[in-house]
Structure 1
Amino acid sequence: MNRVVIYGGTGGIGLATAQALRKRGCRLHLAARDVGRLEETAAGLGETTFTAGDAMDPAFFTAVAQEAGDTLAGLVYAVGTINLRPLARLTADDALTDFKLNALGAFLALQASAPALKAGAGEAGAGVVLFSTVAVAQGFPAHASVAMAKGAVEGLALSLAAELSPQIRINVVAPSLTRTPLSAAITSNETLASGIASMHALQRLGTPDDIGALVAFLVSAEAGWITGQVIGADGGRSSLRTKG
């Protein structure tokens, strides 16, 4: 399998995805901010190159596309935010930052790498995975900014899945609360975490490996007839009521 680009591949879901893809024999190109973590992660994974930069800078995406190579088998955009504030406490800058990191970044990553993805598509098509959240399908208080941004990701994915087919397949994974460094402010409070876990049919929060395994499958040729889907990896939170 050819190279896969992973934005945000040095921690949490991005790292779990990188590890799952390496087990499948993929070569990787990581894109993130922290050079030290990129170097450490790349060394641990093997057959991995990287580009350091800021997803708020449009030039970063051009640099990643240039350095990742002329042919790509897939792309994963695992950059995101968890900005949970009630409407009265949100600022225009909060909303703009959430939109840029989640939605505009995904757009720019795909725009920059689309030629290489088409070139490396093969019979199954190149696999792209973007990320949404269960809070788009379920309305949660204090999620207005992040749900708005992730809703834009879903719209982007559906539009480009139609436009870039059949060479490029694009799907979205929409997790519920997952134990990652990004969510540590919530999950480190075990009373709060247990209460949220009880709202899921499977009675636990997600782990990065839960999500990474699904993403790796969607990137792979095994998912060659799956595109334009928003798939909930959420312990049943989006569609099932708990027994209690």
Structure 2
Amino acid sequence: MKNILLIGGSHGIGRSITKQLCQDHKVYVASRSKEGLEDLNVTHIRFDATKDNLDTTTLPEAIHGLAYCPGSINLKPFKMLSLETFQTDMHLNFFSLVKVVKALLPNMVEGASMVFFSTVAAGKGMPFHTSVAAAKGAIEGFAKSLAAEYAPKIRVNVVAPSLVDTPLASRLLSNDRKRELMSQRHPLKRVGEANDIANIAVFLLSDKSSWMTGQVVGVDGGVSTLNMS
């Protein structure tokens, strides 16, 4: 049984990952609230990624997997985005991730796996995504360099989704018309579900992906590579 830590695993994609993993592993969830985890067999650690230092004394000495789930979606024209918005997005998505990784590295065992999250917009230019694409692009570069530095002991991979039906994206899918418009933008004609992303993350955390590292895996309904027009 592996010990796996999820940062922000109580809602959306994180909760779906937690739900799948806790069936076979010892799962630790570090998040601001335990809400959403009441029915799951996990150990909760109260933790705010934007301001707290991860207390590794609350974790086992051996950690086999890490998934860092916090993220943001600020979709606005560049001229409407303040410098503070860029700084906030970068802090939550990237600098807080770096801080967690630094704290956890001594606990990561041989063969451990780390999974981070990017966005399809980091690899494919999309209007109104300047802030989130910049922050997630930093994650992709960081993950590849980290994977090279810590191979073969630790594997590091990134999942890059398109739009997923989670509380974080609720504003973009708030009515049937918006949902239909967003669905039609994807070759597979639907937006993603949390389990679509969780399935890949769980795979990357498992030994089934033991020959994968330094990869950015697109799970995006085909939107990053297919032109259907």
**Aligned counterpart for 2:53 among listed residues 54, 60, 68:** 60
Tell me the alpha carbon deviations over residues 82-140 of structure 1, each in whole angstroms, 9 at most, x when there is no partner.
Answer: 0111111111110011001101121111111111113xx3xxx1111000000011111
In structure 2, the residue matched to 1:12 is 12
In structure 2, the residue matched to 1:117 is 108
Q: Is 2:205 the partner of 1:219?
A: yes
Alignment of 1:1-244 (within 5 A): 1-23=1-23, 25-34=24-33, 36-37=34-35, 41=37, 43-46=38-41, 48-57=42-51, 59-61=52-54, 63=55, 65-118=56-109, 121=110, 125-242=111-228, 244=229
Given that 1:175 and 1:233 are in contact with CA atoms closer than 8 Å, whether structure 2 keeps it comes out as: yes
Q: CA deviation at 1:174?
A: 0.2
Normalising to structure 2: TM-score of the pair? 0.96
Given that 1:200 and 1:241 are in contact with CA atoms closer than 8 Å, whether structure 2 keeps it comes out as: no
| Aligned equivalents of 1:230, 1:131: Cα separation in 2 | 9
RMSD over aligned CA atoms reads 1.2
The runs of at least 4 aligned residues of structure 1 exceeding 4 Å deviation read: none
In the comparison of the two structures, how many residue pairs are matched? 229
Tell me the alpha carbon deviations over residues 38-91 of structure 1, each in whole angstroms, 9 at most, x when there is no partner.
Answer: xx50x4221x2121121111x432x1x221221111000000000111111111
Q: CA deviation at 1:189?
A: 2.5
| AA partner of residue 60 (structure 1) | N
SS at structure 1 position matched to 2:155: strand
- Give unmatched runs, 5+ long, in structure 2: none
Structure with the larger strand share: 2
Tell me the alpha carbon deviations over residues 199-222 of structure 1, each in whole angstroms, 9 at most, x when there is no partner.
Answer: 111110000000001100100111
| Aligned equivalents of 2:30, 2:73: Cα separation in 1 | 20
Structure with the larger helix share: 1
| AA partner of residue 91 (structure 1) | S
Q: CA deviation at 1:171?
A: 0.2
Normalising to structure 1: TM-score of the pair? 0.91
